[in-house]
Amino acid sequence: MGSTTLVFGASGQLGQCLQHVAKERHLSSLVFLPEDQANILNVAALQAVFAQYQPGYVINCAAYTAVDKAEDEVEIARKVNRDGAENLARLCSEYGATFIHISTDFVFAGTGNTPLLETDEAAPISVYGLTKLEGEQVIPAHTSQYFILRTSWLYSEYAGNFVKTMLRFGREREELKVIWDQAGTPTYAIDLAGCILTIIESQSQQYGIYHYSNEGLTSWYDFAVAIFELSNTPVRTLPIRTAEYPTKATRPAYSVMDKTKAKTQLGVAIPHWRDSLKVCLSRLEA
């Protein structure tokens, strides 16, 4: 097994966070592939990349994540989220590389009210969730050396995300309406990147599916209130129901994930969402 780690989807939010954390940890073995080399649907290009780098690890941050658009673009969402994952899993098997794949809380229906375990039934209620689940399901058919990390409500200093959108709206508007009847846990993508790199550094062989978000739970409304409070943004925030803000895709009403398995088997310490939000906001301010 080689010592190089290939990162697909390097220009996205999580890819940029991995670059940040790898630099902090002085890890030089990660190769952040440019988009023209990293199209996970181009099998010939992928084969060339694997042959060139002989990777020990492969991180897949590439995904079709436009949740509402996916309802109309089923085939392209499926190609990226299922076929792309399958292409990488097949090559990981061929080259003896460990596959680290990022999935989502959207694989769940979100109809319960207790934190979700990795073993709980996946029953997606959107095309995005369905295609991400299909991606999870094709991986074990090709390799047993995989980590699937399901995450939720990802944000950071990089790319577009809820925190940056709220800060922008907070500057532009006097009043905002935010959904209060969807519960979940924000995840600081820098923390998730740290978890991924810990798996690699520890050379863990505790393969399987894991849940990783920050600790605690909140609603989108309470998350927004915390963003404004901690950033001293004076904006009036009003709670609304999901029904008052219809979207093309249905979102899980409750997608809080249980992280016990990640903490015990991967040995990662997970910060509370509010503590991580403070870190992110101070970095954005700087």
Q: Active-site residue numbers? A: 128
With beta carbons less than 8 A apart as the criterion, state whether 109 and 123 touch.
yes
Pairing state between β 183-184 and 218-219: antiparallel
Rounded Cα distance, 246 and 252, in Å: 13
The dihedral over CA atoms of 95, 96, 98, 104, expressed in degrees to the nearest 10, equals: 60
Of 131, 117, 20, 150, the C-alpha closest to 86 is: 131
Inter-residue contact 151 to 185 (CB < 8 Å): no
Cβ distance 88 to 47 under 8 Å?
A: no
3-class state of residue 60 by DSSP: strand
Q: Which runs of consecutive H residues, i.e. helices, occur in the chain?
A: 13-24, 43-53, 74-78, 84-95, 127-138, 162-172, 189-202, 220-230, 260-265, 273-285
Tokens 């492969």 sit on residue? 58
